[in-house]
Amino acid sequence: MYRSDRATAKNYVYAAIGSALGLGLSPIAPGTFGALLGVMIHGLTVCYLPLRLQFPALLSAFVLVCAANHLLTPWAEEYWQCHDPGHFVLDEVAGYLLIPILFRYGQWWKVALWGFVLFRIFDIFKLIPPARYIDRNIQGSWGILLDDLVSAAYAAGLLHILYRLWPKMLE
């Protein structure tokens, strides 16, 4: 990453975007730190936009991050010289953003906290087969993105179950 032949303005901009504004450059748990950009987008959307604009804004952010992930994956794999580079965390940002799209109950900060924790557990450990299968067998930008979206869907599904069983946990 620090070779002089790669120190171009384009590479800096792409690295900033791909690393979630540098959060993914953390030496420990870059995906977890990168997903925090999704939490920030969620929080800013809920706190500063009227209710009628929140869902369209979250959906738009999700689509933009997914598109950026798809477009920048080939660049990231060449730049960091590996498949699914750890510092390229747009998949984690998109994954987190899917949670408030699929689960729209409770106080936003409780949803953010529990959604973030559950998402990271499902994403890191790939406990349920589809996410594990995707991670191991689908190459390129779709493979990098889809396992995170599956993990986010599991997290949102578990939030629905928890909300039905213990609504006060999220209210």
pLDDT digits (tens, 9 = 90+) for 64-81: 999 999 999 999 999 999
Q: Indicate if the pLDDT at residue 1 is higher than 60.
A: no
Going by C-alpha positions, the residue among 91, 107, 68, 70 that lies closest to residue 145 is 91
Q: Indicate if the pLDDT at residue 34 is higher than 60.
A: yes
Kindly state the average pLDDT of the residues 1-8. Answer: 65
pTM of the model: 0.94
pLDDT at 4: 54
